[in-house]
Structure 1
Amino acid sequence: MSYGFAVRFALLFFFLPLLQAKTIRVATYNVALSQSSEGRLAALLRTGTNASAKRVAEVVQIVKPDVLLLNEFDYDANGTGATRMNDRFFNVSQNGRDAQDYPHRYLAVSNTGIHSGFDLDNNGVVDRTPGDQNYGGDAFGFGEFPGKYAMVVFSKYPIDTEAIRTFEEILWKDMPGNLIPPGFYTADEQEVFRISSKSHWDIPIEILGTHFHFLVSHPTPPVFDGAEDRNGRRNHDEIRLWADYLTPGSAGYLSGGLEEGERFVIAGDQNADPTKGDSLNAAINQLLDHPRVSGEFVPSRTGTTTASNRFDTATFRLRADYVLPSNEGFQIEDGAVYWPTGSQEGASLVTVSDHRLVYLDLKLVPLIDEVVQDLSVENFDQKLVFHWKAKSEVSYRLEKATNLDADTWIRLDQVDIGFNGNRATAILAEPSGRSFFRIVAYYE
């Protein structure tokens, strides 16, 4: 085989960086901190002494996530509640734990408690008074006041606020092939009825000169309805929204989806178990089985080895909460459902909610177009010369093998890689015999 042919094979392989990177911990936690009236949660957090919030904070200080979604955290327009949660709870040691500071936060309007003006639950009453018994059933998402059961993102890394996308106003009827229950909603109701019971957010998190998309939501529980199964159907389609967002050609009603080759992490209380419960047609499998989603790793409970419940994330014995990374750009290192029991440390803390914190440790893997661009290989004067466009945040090395499927590649540490601006050059003596080379890109 000529060296030219070997180089052509090498060119194919140079675009497959080895999996080496920085690891981040990403978590979702339904904290059940929602209150009975608008503004009450922010008020309760004012002094930093609220017992429930302190327990939530201690759980977070034990697990120490870098990026965290909280579900069931009431929305207020000024973000007062989120600021106080960080400054007076997360960033204040609880029982000697290490304080955790999240300087970057995102919250926005939730459909919960926003009244539709219609009798959406078909009980014969249109109640427009927040707090009344019949008010929540006619809101776009169930809630006795605007912003109840909302969500908030806390991050140790910057958020690209200019690039955030939110989908709270997408109409259910605009989803092609939707599962709107036939005959339940009038034509006028369908003209205003939103698919998202809270919201769906695409939040770009910036890290190491690159980013990932934090795709967060909290679909409605597939219960509390009738034979029409309106909540089960809506739960299915709320989950489907993210599947469509990731599928080329399926996100026209969202004004476009997430481009291929982008990192993402889907997080939130999805209210759907793949094998148990009341969700429709195993709705969560739309994500677990999606070709762009890494759904094979299942976090297990820290406090039990019982096979029947080791994957549950809630006291109602279902796997409801998920952290699902993209196949590209991440390698799953570890993960768990934080659920100590009995006399185990932290067992008295987690009962603050009916859900448990779920986390994954994700190794950030260089994507092809991030690390090796405009690659060329020259063969002259008995040397191979490699040129490529490099990134300053990424480290590189060359490795060699005698075939592409080799189990072991030899590190060529003697080869110096030089940089001139954003151009990298590596020169090595022309090999004897058949050889293949690869560029390994990694984050230190």
Structure 2
Amino acid sequence: MGRFVWMICLLLAAPAAAEGLRVATYDPGLTRKGPGLLLRDIRRDDPQVLAAAQVIAAAAPDVILLTGIDWDHDGLALAAFAQVLGQAGHPMPHSFAARPNSGMPTGLDLDGDGRTGGAGDAQGFGQFTGQNAMAVLSRLPLGQVTDHTAALWRDLPGNLMPPAAPDDQRLSSTAHWDVPVLTDAGPLHLLAWSATPPVFDGPEDLNGRRNHDEAAFWLHHLPRAPFVLLGNPNLDIVDGEGRAQAMTALLDHAQDPQPKGTFQPEQTGANAGQGGDPALDTAVYDPAGPGNLRVDYAWPARGLRIIDSGVVWPAPGESLAATVEAASNHRLVWVDIDLDSMAAQAGR
């Protein structure tokens, strides 16, 4: 009896397991070459769409930022995908999406090809308005979103905007959002963005400069509340070709949990010459070109306690491996945040 009572006392004295909020970001490859085609594919139970839903359901996030999904004015594609996700066993009834800069016409010849109206002439690269946009899906209610997408590049303090860029050029190639997730511990602000790749330009380095400034934007817009820097900055801070200074500066305010996948492909070609930990990579690219890179991030604010983190990248033959590969060349990144630390940081 004494031994039994002693064990009960130990159990009662043990601290309760921390309650966590799982935050994720993922480019699910839900973009198509024309308006309405994504909705068509969702309604047809396209295998790639179903695979993306299965990856998200397996990760079971409380809230997720999708950085590769086409936007339409009535939100039909997002609503249809949310329904598919519910059928996959992970309902996320709350959502936010807004018109992005990708594909938004400017009437200018921004890419210098002598024509207007092309994908490179939009506020952000896109063949049609809303191509390759962003969306948030959540199990929890969302608060009022602050949408910074219309902010002009020239208005960013210390910007690297080339002199030849037009004055009405927007900074966001896709969007910049501050999305509050309403939890019992108070709101958690998702500082969400998806940047232009810092390549595919000329000696003026327009894309490299813009990519840098899209990250630098958050240095001037950090809330006085718990937050997570979340999305696809399109820059590997170790092995990428772009300017990493802004991302590095953000680490004065946020922490890098360094989420890792359980599998890394054989390090051949460009991968063999990289300096970063391959377990941190989040996207598969041509080994003859850039190689695999870490371009998707979830960085909680300093002071928030991280319970766990990871990248959904199973080894070949493991459960979900084929589904992950069929869905997208990107991998889902997640981080679990202790709700008690959120409440403490918010002063509750």
Same fold by TM (over 0.5)? yes
> Is the contact made by 2:226 and 2:346 (CA closer than 8 Å) also made in structure 1?
no
Distance in 2 (CA, whole Å) between partners of 1:362 and 1:334 is: 8
User: Which of 222, 239, 254 lines up with 2:198 in the alignment?
Assistant: 222
> Is the contact made by 1:275 and 1:282 (CA closer than 8 Å) also made in structure 2?
no
Sort the Cα spacing of 1:368 and 1:320 in 2 relative to 1 into closer, same or farther, 3 A.
closer
Matched position secondary structure for 2:177: strand
Distance in 1 (CA, whole Å) between partners of 2:94 and 2:189 is: 15
Matched position secondary structure for 1:57: helix
Larger proportion of helix: 2
Asked whether 1:213 is paired with 2:189, we answer: yes
Distance in 2 (CA, whole Å) between partners of 1:302 and 1:281 is: 26
Distance in 1 (CA, whole Å) between partners of 2:236 and 2:246 is: 8
**Which runs of no fewer than 5 residues in structure 2 stay unpaired?**
1-14, 268-275, 286-291
The residue aligned with 1:181 is 162
Matched position secondary structure for 1:367: helix
The residue aligned with 1:399 is none
Asked whether 1:57 is paired with 2:57, we answer: no
Asked whether 1:120 is paired with 2:120, we answer: no
User: Which of 348, 357, 360 lines up with 2:332 in the alignment?
Assistant: 357
Superposed CA RMSD in Å reads 1.9
User: Which of 23, 37, 43 lines up with 2:40 in the alignment?
Assistant: 43
Q: Which amino acid aligns with 2:111?
A: D
User: Which of 240, 262, 265 lines up with 1:277 in the alignment?
Assistant: 240
Distance in 1 (CA, whole Å) between partners of 2:264 and 2:146 is: 39
- Shift in Å at residue 144 of structure 1? 0.2
**Which runs of no fewer than 5 residues in structure 1 stay unpaired?**
1-17, 94-98, 129-134, 247-257, 372-444
User: Which of 146, 167, 170 lines up with 2:148 in the alignment?
Assistant: 167
- Shift in Å at residue 303 of structure 1? 1.6
User: Which of 69, 89, 92 lines up with 2:87 in the alignment?
Assistant: 92
Distance in 1 (CA, whole Å) between partners of 2:109 and 2:346 is: 51
The residue aligned with 2:310 is 336
| 1:257-293 deviation digits (Å, cap 9, x = unpaired) | x22xx01111111111111121114442132x22x21
The residue aligned with 2:25 is 28
| 1:225-280 deviation digits (Å, cap 9, x = unpaired) | 1111100000000000112212xxxxxxxxxxx22xx0111111111111112111
> Is the contact made by 1:239 and 1:286 (CA closer than 8 Å) also made in structure 2?
no
Q: State how 1:185-334 maps to structure 2 within 5 Å.
A: 185=165, 189-190=166-167, 192-208=168-184, 210-246=186-222, 258-259=223-224, 262-287=225-250, 289-290=251-252, 292-295=253-256, 297-304=257-264, 308-316=277-285, 317-328=292-303, 330-334=304-308
> Is the contact made by 1:116 and 1:138 (CA closer than 8 Å) also made in structure 2?
yes
The residue aligned with 2:288 is none
Give the TM-score of the pair, scaled to structure 1. Answer: 0.68
Larger proportion of strand: 1
Matched position secondary structure for 2:137: strand
Q: Which amino acid aligns with 1:54?
A: L
- Shift in Å at residue 370 of structure 1? 3.2
Sort the Cα spacing of 1:338 and 1:193 in 2 relative to 1 into closer, same or farther, 3 A.
same
Asked whether 1:347 is paired with 2:297, we answer: no
Distance in 1 (CA, whole Å) between partners of 2:242 and 2:16 is: 36
Instruction: Give 4+ residue runs of structure 1 displaced > 6 Å after superposition.
Output: none
Distance in 2 (CA, whole Å) between partners of 1:209 and 1:301 is: 29
Distance in 1 (CA, whole Å) between partners of 2:31 and 2:57 is: 21
How many percent of aligned residue pairs carry the same amino acid? 35
Sort the Cα spacing of 1:267 and 1:234 in 2 relative to 1 into closer, same or farther, 3 A.
same
The residue aligned with 1:406 is none
Matched position secondary structure for 2:39: helix
The residue aligned with 1:73 is 69
Give the TM-score of the pair, scaled to structure 2. Answer: 0.87
> Is the contact made by 2:186 and 2:346 (CA closer than 8 Å) also made in structure 1?
no
Distance in 1 (CA, whole Å) between partners of 2:175 and 2:77 is: 18
The residue aligned with 1:15 is none
Equivalences, count? 316
- Shift in Å at residue 315 of structure 1? 0.7
> Is the contact made by 1:223 and 1:278 (CA closer than 8 Å) also made in structure 2?
yes
Q: Which amino acid aligns with 2:120?
A: G
Distance in 2 (CA, whole Å) between partners of 1:369 and 1:170 is: 28
Distance in 2 (CA, whole Å) between partners of 1:218 and 1:265 is: 14
| 1:408-437 deviation digits (Å, cap 9, x = unpaired) | xxxxxxxxxxxxxxxxxxxxxxxxxxxxxx
- Shift in Å at residue 86 of structure 1? 1.1
Q: Which amino acid aligns with 1:141?
A: G
Distance in 1 (CA, whole Å) between partners of 2:18 and 2:244 is: 37
Matched position secondary structure for 1:122: coil
The residue aligned with 2:124 is 141
| Bigger Rg, structure 1 or 2 | 1
Matched position secondary structure for 1:284: helix
| 1:70-118 deviation digits (Å, cap 9, x = unpaired) | 111000111111111111x21113xxxxx00001000000000001111
Q: Which amino acid aligns with 1:276?
A: D
Distance in 1 (CA, whole Å) between partners of 2:206 and 2:27 is: 23
> Is the contact made by 2:64 and 2:137 (CA closer than 8 Å) also made in structure 1?
yes
> Is the contact made by 1:300 and 1:336 (CA closer than 8 Å) also made in structure 2?
yes
